[in-house]
Structure formats: C-alpha cells, structure tokens
Amino acid sequence: MKKIFWVKSLDANKKIVPIAIEAGAEAVLTTKGKSDLIRKAGKITTIAEDGDLKLHQDVEIVKITKKEDEDKVVQFKGKIPVIIENDDWEIIPLENLISKTTNIIQTVYDFNQAKLALQTMEKGADGILLETDNINEIKKTGEFISKMNNEKLNLETVKITAIKQTDLADRCCLDTGSILEPARGMLIGNSSSAFFLVHNENVASQFCDSRPFRVNAGAVHSYILLPENKTKYIGELASGDLVLTINEKGETKNVVLGRNKIEVRPMLEVEAENKKGQKVSLLMQNAETIRLTSPQGKPVSITHMKEGDEVLAYFQEGGRHFGQKVSETIKEK
C-alpha cells in the first residue's frame, strides 16, 4: 500500500514549500487564500478550505485529546483521508485507529516520528502530515517514504532453452528521464505471468555508446510490469508514464518515461525455464547491445547467449484485464 506524504505550511513558507516538492510531497496543507502562492513554487496539490482538496469535504482533521475522539475518526469509515493531531504526540491513538479503520494521516513533527507512525503495528498509518521548519527533516522523511513505496520483488534464476531468429517486428526502446545504474532494468515478457529482467544500455560496446537511460525492451505486444503490480503493452507506453525499474536484488524504483521509440528491427525469440518448469519468453531485437541480466547482476548480450545460460526472471499469476490482475483461466503461447 502506497504511503501518503503531506507537508503542513499554513503560511506558504517560501523556504519549506519548494523543499517539500523536491522531497516528493504530494500535497501541502495550508490556510485559505494561500494555494496560489504555494503553486508558484511548483505543481503540487493544496489542502485548504479553498484548495484542490477541500477541508471538511475531501479531507478531515480530528484532534485527539481523549479516547472518545477516536470515534470521530472511525465514523468516516476510510471514505476520505482523516488527519489526526495529538497535542503530546504518542502512538497509542494511532495503534487503536489502525485496528479499526483506514485512510489515517498521522500528524508528525520530525523524521523519527514519521518513521514510527508509518511502521506502527507493522502496517502503519496510511500516510503522514509533516509539520516542521527543518528542511533536513523534510528531505529525510521524503527519502524514507520513497523507499517504503518501492516494491521488493522475488526474482528467479532461469535457464535459457532456446534462442531463435524470427522475422522483422516493431520494437520499443524505452528511454527514461533517469540514469539507470548497472544491473537495473525492466521486467518485460511475452505473457503477463512471466518476465525477463531486461538490462539497461549503460554498457558501451564497439557498436554503440553507453545510453544508461535506455532499456531496449522488446516487440510492441510485450507486457511490462508497472508500479502497483499493473501491466501494460509496451507499445502503449508514452512520455510521462511512470514505469517500474528493478535490479538483480529485486529492489524497485519508479522512473518517468521520456520517450518510447518504436522502429522496425530484426528480432530473436528468447525462451527460458525455471526449476518448476515455468516458461518465460520474449521477442527482442537481434543486436549485440541488447542484454538480459545474470543472477550476479551482470549484463548478458542475447547474441552471445546459449542454451543453459542463466538469467533472471519474474513469475506471477497471469490473467489481466486492461492491466489489472483478474482471476480467470488464461493460456498464452
């Protein structure tokens, strides 16, 4: 569950608001008449009586001073976010509320309180509202929540069973707005249940310069695993879309797609299998610069691979409807 990060700035502080935006805050809680001033610092949602999210309509605030105040939060039944405030910050009211309802945003005053609130009872609050003038506390909190929101996936080692030359096809180069470090790539596959870890192009060769922002993903029909366990055909991806990248340890990071470059290229079909007999395949461009990823995180060129070589893949239950997982019987060949 994605954790919410909001910052409180009633006076639209010119120092705090830009830092909040840089730290990844999704909204700023402010007072009436301050939303336009906040938006001058950057594009961000405001919460106020006249904000993008309106207080007492889209968002509620409840001050917890006694046990009975918890019932005021529960009565919303998680339908809208409820910000809870405590005069003397303590974890007990939050623990009680986590067991009764959802959409709880805990007010906190520093990084340590934010960390505790987001991890209480293992589940944590659904988000935090950080009230501080310390820019370092905002930055640390933003970094922590960003890491929390990055999924961890269990990759498997598979053995190559076949590499076959095929005809021409439309293939997608996915150029991101980020520099991707070694061993980071994207999960791409012919089906929605099995994906290869396709390595990014941060390796220079005699044929091509290093392009560490790029993943040469495969043919347009291929599935890509996206944030929040969604999928999409890579031919449908466009500039501004959020895509999921992953390294050999299964650590994910969301990045923005800058361009989807589709061109006709000669292709290879790469097939592999895990120890359970589950299969994974992908149509990939027939070029030395296109690489999968070894269990050690090393890039492996598909033109140099042979049967029996080991690479990384990810398996999950198939069955998708417009990218969302559904329970149905489905076979893909």
According to CATH, what is the number of the domain 156-316? 2.170.16
List the domain boundaries for the chain. 4-149, 156-316
Tokens describing residue 304: 């140099």
Domains 4-149 and 156-316 share a fold: no
Q: What is the pLDDT of residue 321?
A: 47
Beta strands in 80-237 (DSSP E): 82-86, 104-108, 127-130, 156-176, 185-189, 194-199, 214-219, 223-226, 230-233
Q: What is the pLDDT of residue 319?
A: 55
pLDDT interval class at 307 (50, 70, 90): very high
Rounded to whole angstroms, the Cα distance separating 179 from 184 reads 10
Q: What is the pLDDT of residue 297?
A: 96
Q: b/e string for 279-288 if b means 16 or more Cβ within 10 A? A: bbbbbbbbbe
pLDDT interval class at 332 (50, 70, 90): low
Rounded to whole angstroms, the Cα distance separating 218 from 195 reads 11
Closest CA to 127 of 163, 94, 172: 94
Average pLDDT over residues 68-80: 95
pLDDT interval class at 89 (50, 70, 90): low
Closest CA to 288 of 266, 263, 262: 266
Q: What is the pLDDT of residue 325?
A: 56
**Span 44-64, pLDDT tens digits:** 999 999 999 999 999 999 999
Rounded to whole angstroms, the Cα distance separating 200 from 194 reads 19
pLDDT interval class at 208 (50, 70, 90): confident
**Span 316-330, pLDDT tens digits:** 976 544 445 555 555
Average pLDDT over residues 21-45: 95
Neighbours of 10 (CB within 10 A): 12
pLDDT interval class at 275 (50, 70, 90): very high
pLDDT at 108 over 70: yes
**Span 218-258, pLDDT tens digits:** 999 999 999 989 999 999 999 999 999 999 999 999 999 99
Supply the angle between the helices 111-119 and 135-149 in degrees, to the nearest 10. 20
Average pLDDT over residues 1-16: 92
According to CATH, what is the number of the domain 4-149? 3.20.20.70
Q: b/e string for 154-185 if b means 16 or more Cβ within 10 A? A: ebbebebeebeeeeebebbbbbbebebebbbb
